[in-house]
Structure 1
Amino acid sequence: MFRKRFLIRRCVQQKLVVTVVLGMMACTSYAGTSPYAEIIIVNGQVITADNDDPKKVTIAEAVAIRGDRILAVGSNREINALKADWTEVIDAKGNSVIPGLIDTHNHLYEHTLDFAWVIKSIPEMLELRIKVDNPDDLVPLVEKAIAARARQIPKGNWIRVNARPPDAAVKAFGTSLTRQRLDELAPDHPTYVTTRGGSVLGTRAIEAFENYYGNTLPDDYWLVDRETGTSGEYNDFDRCAKIDIINTQTGSFDRYIKGYLEAMQVNVQLGVTTHKTHLQCEGGFSASSHLDRSDVMPMRLAWGHRWLQPFTANIKESYRRIGDWTGYGSDYFWSIGSSVGGIDAGGVGWCATMPADKSIKNREQCPPLLPGMQIDGINDDNIVPNRGRRLEHLETLAQLAGEGRISGIPGWHVAGDGALDVLVKTYQAYMPDERIRQLRIQADHCFGVRQDQIELAARLGQTFSCNFDTENTRIIEEDYGEEYLTMNAPVASMLKAGVNAVIGTFGNYGRLRASPFEDGVNWLTRMDDDGKPWGLAEEAVPDRITLLLMMTRYGAYPLWKEHAIGSIEPGKLADIVILNGDYLEEPVEKLDTLTSVMTIIGGKIAYEDPSLRGNTFRFNVATVDWTIDERTPTSAWRWQKAPAVPPFLDGANGY
């Protein structure tokens, strides 16, 4: 019997070849791939997330990586057998090793502008945030702030105010806060006030939107009329004013893109390797596309197409012409289809079927129903015209899917159970359930979901992306009744019914976190940050492995990437996080002390903390610079120096 030997030689063209010798030396060489790993991670507690059943998830010791893919998973002995002289060995030191985290609801393109270091570089983006305990104090304080800001900044610069609590702000819009009042306070500035549930705009702000987008704002934007200036919309105005208009007006787009890259990097440093959003405004797409074409996108982004919806009266025509984008793009930036955005609003502006006082129902924002559609609890008391724009978009997508013209419909904001009824009934108006299952539909937030809707979601293959938020919990308790808390983020019921429930908004989303598992503690305990019950205890995520699956494996499916991300398995993209401790043994209440000490994306180290092997590769928020300090030799860093973004107007020439 002859023994196989592998000889590695370089061919004339300097390509690596592998020669298999049987007995005597053979003279034929075949171009191929080295059987050895480029990187191995050993001495870890590798939680692979390789099975949908948390009880069947494999726990290994080591991982081998070649190129951008996982080569093998196994014991230290098995993986060390794949080590060559050039293989980089990373000692996990007994720490947990997990798949890269997938944040299924993170509007980072917008919330980049919530970070202090970014605003410092673009002061024109400063937003005034006013929150009061006594609702009677809100309007006087807003008026004083607008008048003061108008004296501080040059004429023509924007004044943007976010007012809380939403209930008090919505009541003021159209009464004490009107277009005319904003014009009196700041006649020379585009001005608006917004909250979760609505906005009021001054004349110069309305003119700025219409000049930028080239059309008169449609009548259905206004809750009363154009002269009053009040709208049920808030995100269209707030997001697109800053991302599109102010960036263009002030020439700050390149500074914004730089801040956007840095905001993604601080998510990478938390262990988040992929996030999902809808790109509501053209600037969000342009910035993301520019980072991708310049090969400096720090993390993966799955995005829904939406920017042809705001401010136009041609929604149906636009989306019947655009074609199917589902799956189009790169490994770092790909489309998951067209996103409607919010069927309803947030906070008090959700669309709910729960009975309540008329004053409560009047502040809800349900869309006008399609002809012939009836939903108990949705009527003239809680229907607002501006939400009809979202329903027109939704109906158009349902028609296109029913006609076989698009292959997927991504998830979007659905706060209340009434909005969820509208979503599903619109699909069912144009498609059989079997076709709906193929679309990988999703609803975000889970603030109000009934048990019958959970059963239907299981049949339709619908994903729920749920985020920790106590606002609607308190709204239910105070305005509808504690008996309806069964509807508040019922994730245990979803999982038991076989629904694909995932966790979103756990990354650095407008605020900096110390751990990606901060919300995880809330989910596992069903207690808020103050130790108060949040929803029902029986609806807690049942265990920590399930929580991890909801933050990794389960999230890959609605992004059409279950074959590539979400678990540590051979053949998948090497998105891997080494934590600073033991995920399986740390007390539940202390899981929020765990965070990444190394984040690998596509086989390249995108973040490294010196506690692991002395190296530092990170962006520093405090000093707004990068530390790249190599103490242990490595060839695995994604960048050897701070990534530089070429000017946007260089286009594809920047790469």
Structure 2
Amino acid sequence: MIRLVPTVTVVGLVTALVATLPNLRAQQPAPDLILWNGKIVTVDEKFTIAQSVAISRDRIVAVGANSDIAKLGGPNTRRIDLAGRTVIPGLIDNHMHLLRAGTTWQLELRWEGVSSRKQAIDMLRARAAAVGPGAWVFNIGGWATAQFADDKKPFTRDELDAVAPNNPVALQESYYQVFLNSPALEAFGIRPNAPDPSDFVKGSILRDASGKPTGVIRGDIAATRPIAAKLPKIAPQQLEAGSQALVKDMNRAGLTSFGVAGCNADVLEIFERWKAQGRLNVRVFCIGGASAATPEQVDRSLTQIAQMKLFQGDEYIDHVVFGESVYTPLHDRMFAVKSDPRPEQLELWRRMAMEIARAGLPLHVHAELRDTIDAFLDQIEAVNKEIPIRNLRWALAHVNQINASQIERMKKLGMYAAVHPWAVINGAIMHEGFGEGAYDMPPLGTIQSSGIVWGLGSDGTAANQTLPLTTLYFAVTGKMAGGTKVMRQPISREDALIAHTRKNAYFVFQENNLGSIQPGKLADLVALDRDYLTIPADQIKDIRPLMTMVGGRIVYEADAR
């Protein structure tokens, strides 16, 4: 338990970052807050471990031993006894579709961290009872059947009918498939021995030999869209409450900052209002821009790229990078096993990339499959010959199938790798598609040893789950949610934590403010219920934040639910 106490008396011997403390005491007023008697994992360049941290307003002013930091306190300094708990920097996700999720989050039956199929069924049954007959019970990704350690089999229509006979049910497994019960099939106009509704991808509605729909809709992202488009969304007057529930869940997970792909204007407006009121509890750095879907749209996009203005915000909300797509026909489908970028498509992609470079814009672009990555690097190398990109922080995102030679090409260009391990929940699906090669998707060991600047993200909330400690568990063990070994290039827990904190700060252009617990940086911190550095690796996924702090404000406490 973390305790508020009136005085500090504990003295410890620990590596300290307080060489200038005498001068600090003489020059600055007493800090507003001291966290003491903990294990402060600073994630600085030396990965220093300290005991205490002092905070004034929204920034860290000192880090070091209990005895040294205690001397900084004054009569009005608040003190929190960490009781030996581990504290890490606020976790940063470099790529999440966060704001989009605000429109449905409060309505969804989310299965992040649920490792039992029985528990998932119990949750479904309870939700149906809570919402009442006729109301939808649904989720839009963030889970996969293989995460259920007790029973990994797919859901059936008959099973879902038995659990929720009076409710339409739609359960979207990542972007792979959707499970529907009979009321949901009827709601979508999917009937036995009848033509498929015109808005569904041809062949995506699975039927048995008699023509009866099985309740499974399968066919990658495109097949899931007609369903997601018709599922309930939060009413405009409830959007603020729904977004607040989303942010609270992110804080509960230890997340404090995000690279956000697609900053939905209606949700962003709410965040801006919260910021003005001093109650925005996450930091949002938008990834956006005028991508093009057709040759005709490219000219329009070129004009808009030239007019694009970034870095007009602050350390809470800003637009920082062009992405996530450039020319969308080259946007790899999530479960495709091979791509075939055509020369005429790549020419259009290069035209746009050239304009992005000419405008001096950063780039964060979706690139998953090996042939796509090679093709994009060919174009970027051509752009680089005319307009050097080294200082623009161009990044390839997802990169689950990247290899060592591609990483080397990226390093020579000064590029970054935004790594989003889809296998955290989709490992079994990826092994079906890629076979033995899936064990190197992503090749975290190769990426880490290369020296490229890289960071971890989720690509949540549909493609993947959103819990950063589950991602860290995957990175350290090679095991997906549910415990199956799906990746053979794990990395150390220190390197994984660096990738989810200090290195990710570079992707959101906040390396001077975020990512480590150091004097001068913003006080974004997470206190954990057990020690990330010493517990058995298989337990990393089970760690729970006890307290999350953003800018020196406590935004989540485990005992204050």
- Shift of the alpha carbon at 1:43? 0.8
Alpha carbons of 1:63 and 1:499: their partners in 2 closer, same or farther (altered >3 Å)?
A: same
- Shift of the alpha carbon at 1:83? 0.3
Q: Distance in 2 between matches of 1:396 and 1:281?
A: 27
Select the structure with the greater relative contact order (CA < 8 A; seq sep ≥ 6): 2
Q: Distance in 2 between matches of 1:81 and 1:238?
A: 62
Alpha carbons of 1:65 and 1:414: their partners in 2 closer, same or farther (altered >3 Å)?
A: same
Letter in 2 for 1:570: P
- Sequence identity, in percent? 22
Q: Does 1:453 align with 2:402?
A: no
Structure number with larger C-alpha Rg = 1
- 502-511 or 517-526, which deviates more: 502-511
Which one of the candidate residues 333, 352, 355 is aligned to 1:400? 355
Please say if residues 90 and 501 of structure 2, whose CA atoms lie closer than 8 Å, have aligned partners that are also in contact. yes
Q: Does 1:565 align with 2:514?
A: yes
Give the unaligned 5+ runs of structure 2: 1-25, 110-129, 147-153, 180-187, 206-217
Letter in 2 for 1:524: V
Q: Distance in 1 between matches of 2:474 and 2:322?
A: 32
Size of the aligned set, in residue pairs, is 478
Give the structure-2-normalised TM-score: 0.71
Alignment of 1:462-477 (within 5 A): 462-469=416-423, 474=428, 477=431
Q: Which residue of 2 aligns with 1:369?
A: 343
Alpha carbons of 1:236 and 1:402: their partners in 2 closer, same or farther (altered >3 Å)?
A: farther
- Shift of the alpha carbon at 1:430? 2.0
Alpha carbons of 1:546 and 1:235: their partners in 2 closer, same or farther (altered >3 Å)?
A: farther
Q: Which residue of 1 aligns with 2:66?
A: 76
Please say if residues 108 and 137 of structure 2, whose CA atoms lie closer than 8 Å, have aligned partners that are also in contact. no
Alignment of 1:94-105 (within 5 A): 94-105=84-95
Q: Distance in 1 between matches of 2:318 and 2:223?
A: 23
Q: Distance in 1 between matches of 2:480 and 2:280?
A: 34
Alpha carbons of 1:530 and 1:261: their partners in 2 closer, same or farther (altered >3 Å)?
A: closer
SS at match of 1:452: helix
Detail structure 1 runs of 4+ shifted over 6 Å in the superposition: 119-126, 128-133, 179-182, 184-187, 230-233, 506-513
Q: Does 1:234 align with 2:183?
A: no
Q: Which residue of 2 aligns with 1:340?
A: 324
Q: Which residue of 2 aligns with 1:67?
A: 57
Please say if residues 470 and 481 of structure 2, whose CA atoms lie closer than 8 Å, have aligned partners that are also in contact. no
Q: Does 1:602 align with 2:547?
A: no
Q: Which residue of 1 aligns with 2:212?
A: none
CA RMSD of aligned residues (A): 4.6
SS at match of 2:397: strand
Give the structure-1-normalised TM-score: 0.62
Alignment of 1:168-179 (within 5 A): none
Q: Does 1:87 align with 2:41?
A: no
Q: Deviations over 1:247-284 (max 9, x none)?
A: 6xxx8123133212211111112211111221175545
Q: Distance in 1 between matches of 2:366 and 2:517?
A: 30
Please say if residues 101 and 272 of structure 1, whose CA atoms lie closer than 8 Å, have aligned partners that are also in contact. yes
Q: Distance in 2 between matches of 1:509 and 1:291?
A: 25
- Shift of the alpha carbon at 1:466? 2.7
Letter in 1 for 2:507: P
- Shift of the alpha carbon at 1:349? 2.5
Q: Does 1:588 align with 2:537?
A: yes
Which one of the candidate residues 390, 397, 403 is aligned to 1:444? 397
SS at match of 1:443: strand
Q: Deviations over 1:135-182 (max 9, x none)?
A: xxx9x969x99xx99x999xxxxx98958994899xxxxxxxxx9989
SS at match of 1:258: helix
- Shift of the alpha carbon at 1:577? 1.2
Q: Distance in 2 between matches of 1:231 and 1:479?
A: 13
SS at match of 1:259: helix
Q: Which residue of 1 aligns with 2:18?
A: none
- 289-298 or 270-279, which deviates more: 289-298
Q: Distance in 2 between matches of 1:191 and 1:562?
A: 49
Q: Which residue of 1 aligns with 2:383?
A: 430
Please say if residues 40 and 83 of structure 1, whose CA atoms lie closer than 8 Å, have aligned partners that are also in contact. yes
Q: Distance in 2 between matches of 1:605 and 1:234?
A: 41
Alpha carbons of 1:347 and 1:578: their partners in 2 closer, same or farther (altered >3 Å)?
A: same
Please say if residues 486 and 535 of structure 1, whose CA atoms lie closer than 8 Å, have aligned partners that are also in contact. yes
SS at match of 1:260: helix
- Shift of the alpha carbon at 1:106? 1.8
Give the unaligned 5+ runs of structure 1: 1-31, 154-158, 170-178, 201-229, 353-365, 374-390, 611-615, 619-655
Letter in 2 for 1:38: D
